[in-house]
Amino acid sequence: MNYSIPQQAGPGQRIETGTTVSGSCISDGEDYYSVRVDLIDVPSSLIVSSNSTPIGYNATNFTVTVENMVTTPSNNGTWHIDVDVYVIRAGGTSGSYLLDYRTTSDATILVGAVTPIPEFSGPPILIVALSLFAFATTILRRRRRAFKT
């Protein structure tokens, strides 16, 4: 199993994910196989997206990709989701649905813009002098306001 999920997205953004599943099932041609992928919001344990793709009646060797659309949360932060993959067999003779395989993988998406931290470069004495100047200016402004009231 291999999944493709963006590492970063905006708040409330609709994104597409893809999960590629390769495998082999003991298949006699009577049962119909498909792959289902659920994306689960870890904090709430809710399924936020579910989709399936058919394999067909011959599942001895297969590779399918399941695409899911999901909307990111509206707040900034790291969003944890589980990618649950199921290989499902619909029985031709028994009519029952059997779960042949299940796996879960963890994924994270950084929601929101990455804000760069400003960097000051230059001689240390210049940075200290500018910092002291900014500090002194702030103090003087506060004192002037305090005397006016």
**Domain boundaries defined on the chain:** 2-111
- Per-residue pLDDT of the chain (149 residues), as tens digits, is 788 899 999 999 999 999 999 988 887 788 888 999 999 999 999 999 999 999 998 888 899 999 999 999 999 999 999 999 988 888 655 556 667 677 888 899 999 876 655 665 667 777 777 777 777 787 777 666 655 55
CA neighbours within 13 Å on the CB side: how many for 28?
A: 5
Task: Give burial (CB, 10 Å; 0-12/13-18/19+) of 139.
Answer: exposed
pLDDT given at position 117: 57
* pLDDT of amino acid 46: 95
Which amino acid, residue 55?
I
Class of domain 2-111: mainly beta
The confidence score (pLDDT) of residue 1 equals 79
